[in-house]
Chain A
């Protein structure tokens, strides 16, 4: 799907936007505290009217990817700890297995995505109260 975004007199190619938003969200996830995610997602929605589903999906992916990279850098120690804290072994995912690693990335990704979606939806709903501008 290719979509056009126009905001503040900018028209951005959809593909480029995907990449830009992904990079921005990855940087946010990597460099800011957890509350940076909803903040940036809300700003992206406010300034560029980035669709909520994009933001949600891209936050999930970027969070999971950043977690994976951090995990890789740290000999997969972080995912082992989270597997234990999340009691994944009792759910059939042995600690240290690839499946348990994926589950931990997914869990954290979903938390990020949820924050992003709620922030963007809030902005979107209040945006819709304004007189419609050409988008």
Chain B
């Protein structure tokens, strides 16, 4: 090949051989370094070079498209020999699946859910299985160690066996699993979910046991608290008088769900003297024993209320529900409608489990809030010797059953985890733990309702087919865990409430403390009779649940002792009572309400104390100094709302946090180790007035008072804002509390930060990383009208536009109308 050329000679000085060698070596070194960086796995992630590669990396990724689903599902159903289904996606990308066969319906649900959410369900099902390290590497080992020791995999296996033995759940679970696996079988390089590429793993076949793990994970999230351990530490530290002052077992509670109505059956028992409470728990003890990532948030809860027909403009009941859990992307819930000759249900499904968990049918609906009951007890075991192979029980030594399990670790060596089981329960914490050295030969074993073989799916699948509110009671007969408040309502005007679950029978023993398990009477004596579970039916009374105590009276302590303070429930009641009749759309703004009764209580306290010194004369500096408007006047004008642009809400919130933190740290100890009185109790103590010892520090010559404590906390609040946000102004609420939706696998960048209002105690219970994950309002008209919202989108694929499409709307408190198809409707 030769063509005429014009040569443009390059004039350059000849380079010496030494310079060439040096330059060559330098560029070779740079090349090698770059290649090393691109080819090396960092923190368990796929090498960046592989991800960036246009030939094999993320550039080959095909986002999930709803247009592809129908054809692929048709192929999968044909291959499985199942009748076809019709599937349609509405404008909010919610699938409406209709089939003449339940097998096809659940198969299609499994397929569609896996199509959009495969990685999420795969990942979440690994948590209680103790298999997260297989994806995240060694940094997840604490999570796996914990759940292996907790024996959740055995509990999930037992529950899975139970579900497969029950005709109500066997078919749906089997078909759903087949549907998921059919989707997995279709996956190729371009359709492999992004996270699998990033973590350099492949999807595993789905199984009934993995579905059981997801349900166990939810049970853990809603009941897995170490409060007994912390309360024991509080009791150890406090004098008897002060303990009784701070933690009275009140029988007259405010704002309970049923008020003075009691459960159908009551049982009087003498209160235990707590003589075998373990007071010598080691100082190293603390909630850091549970890895932060899986430590249930104390606010895991929810709101639900049902308004009777006479209180609504339609004359039919209205049902509202919002589920408060940690925010994640992909969104925790997947909206779906399932229609067959046996059911027609719409609502939030849990990716990985068949059916709908919260939702409504053509004629009824149900809502959930966490029961916040005490269903997990920790027992101290007395070992025979340092070998810890035997423990004392009923005056004899019993063997500890020890097994070794292999935890596979991505990009690292496997780890052997020893599990240790007793007839009390698994020993989860004991001396020899590298992070928690206990100096006595003792261990803490758990009794937890989550360890019971249980089939909650049965209740939900029966609810999916319910037609009347009363059907709830039948559906919930076998419900065990997590204990929940179920509120059901129907188009015929009936409303039913049930505090459902299995509750341990402690026979009068105080469940607040760790006790030494030496005799059978120290342990649970079976469970409370189901007749004791609070139930309420009405056509005319409003039902409000927000994780508060279910009813008044001594019996409530058999269920629990750390129910949430009634701030949200009272706020809901207050708002509902302010209006005679409600129309469904007004519920949307009610669910977005940001007024906090806790903030109002604090505001009233501050205004009262501002009348006296030293708070009255406190010289404030920027950013707290509010210019011409005094702090008192600013507080007076504040309505207790926590809207995004509000500044005084930020000041009040931080001020109260510091005040509360200092009060209890000084009196009780660190919140990591000890249990603190609730905010409600703090205000009760203030109102009671005669509790000088809480404010005064005997070690100082000065006489500290409530007023001086508030003043000191305010100065610290100002210092905090100056350090964190500068001297200009107190930050707006959304700057102070940014709302973050982290990626479920904590992959940086795949989460989202938005501006959203609300505080933990407002109806819109946004705590920044925790709050409403499913919002639903249902009006039971001839054809139900409903509105829903999830923080995220239907797709779990970060490359899809639907991944976080609804986040902005959610943050503004908006909800979208549900497209609900009646049977036979096109």
Q: Which residue numbers of A lie inside 8 Å of B, CB to CB?
A: 1-4, 10-14, 16, 29-36, 38, 63, 66-67, 70-71, 74-75, 77-78, 80-82, 84-87, 96, 108, 111, 114-115, 117-119, 121-122, 124-126, 128-129
Q: Does B800 contact A (CB under 8 A)?
A: yes
Please measure, in the bound complex, the distance between the C-alpha atom of A35 and the C-alpha atom of B37, giving whole angstroms. 12
Tell me whether B55 and A11 are in contact (CB under 8 A): no
Tell me whether A82 and B58 are in contact (CB under 8 A): yes
Q: A11-B2, A115-B31 are in contact. Are A77 and B61 (CB under 8 A)?
A: yes
- Residue on A with the closest CB to B49? A34
Tell me whether B31 and A16 are in contact (CB under 8 A): no
How close is A101's CB to chain B, nearest CB, in angstroms? 12
Q: Does B6 contact A (CB under 8 A)?
A: yes
Residues of A with C-beta under 8 A to B17:
128-129
Q: Which residue numbers of B lie inside 8 Å of A, CB to CB?
A: 1-3, 5-8, 15, 17, 20-21, 23-25, 27-28, 30-31, 34-35, 38-39, 49-50, 52-63, 65, 190, 194, 747-750, 797-801
- Residue on A with the closest CB to B751? A84
Query: Which one of B1, B59, B799 lies within 8 Å of A11 (CB-CB)?
Result: B1
Query: Which one of B21, B27, B50, B62 lies within 8 Å of A77 (CB-CB)?
Result: B62
Tell me whether B6 and A115 are in contact (CB under 8 A): no
Tell me whether A78 and B52 are in contact (CB under 8 A): no
Name A's interface SS.
Answer: helix
How close is B27's CB to chain A, nearest CB, in angstroms? 4
Please measure, in the bound complex, the distance between the C-alpha atom of A59 and the C-alpha atom of B553, giving whole angstroms. 77
Please measure, in the bound complex, the distance between the C-alpha atom of A38 and the C-alpha atom of B36, giving whole angstroms. 13
How close is A71's CB to chain B, nearest CB, in angstroms? 7
How close is B126's CB to chain A, nearest CB, in angstroms? 22
Tell me whether B59 and A78 are in contact (CB under 8 A): yes
Tell me whether A125 and B21 are in contact (CB under 8 A): yes
Tell me whether A119 and B799 are in contact (CB under 8 A): no
Residues of B with C-beta under 8 A to A32:
55
Tell me whether B55 and A35 are in contact (CB under 8 A): no
How close is B38's CB to chain A, nearest CB, in angstroms? 6
With contacts A35-B38, A71-B59 known, what are 4 further pairs, Cβ within 8 A?
Answer: A10-B1, A11-B5, A34-B49, A66-B59
Tell me whether B20 and A128 are in contact (CB under 8 A): yes
What are 22 A-B residue pairs whose CB atoms fall within 8 Å in the complex? A2-B8, A13-B3, A14-B5, A33-B50, A34-B38, A35-B35, A38-B35, A66-B54, A71-B59, A74-B799, A75-B62, A78-B799, A81-B798, A84-B749, A85-B750, A87-B749, A96-B801, A115-B34, A117-B27, A118-B28, A121-B27, A124-B24
How close is A13's CB to chain B, nearest CB, in angstroms? 4
Q: A35-B35, A74-B61 are in contact. Are A12 and B1 (CB under 8 A)?
A: yes
- Residue on A with the closest CB to B804? A95
- Residue on B with the closest CB to A37? B53
Tell me whether A85 and B748 are in contact (CB under 8 A): yes
How close is B376's CB to chain A, nearest CB, in angstroms? 38
Q: A77-B799, A108-B54 are in contact. Are A125 and B27 (CB under 8 A)?
A: yes
- Residue on A with the closest CB to B198? A85
How close is A21's CB to chain B, nearest CB, in angstroms? 14
- Residue on B with the closest CB to A63? B54
Residues of B with C-beta under 8 A to A128:
15, 17, 20
Residues of B with C-beta under 8 A to A71:
59
Tell me whether B38 and A111 are in contact (CB under 8 A): yes
Please measure, in the bound complex, the distance between the C-alpha atom of A38 and the C-alpha atom of B750, giving whole angstroms. 30
Query: Which one of A2, A86, A111, A129 lies within 8 Å of B6 (CB-CB)?
Result: A2
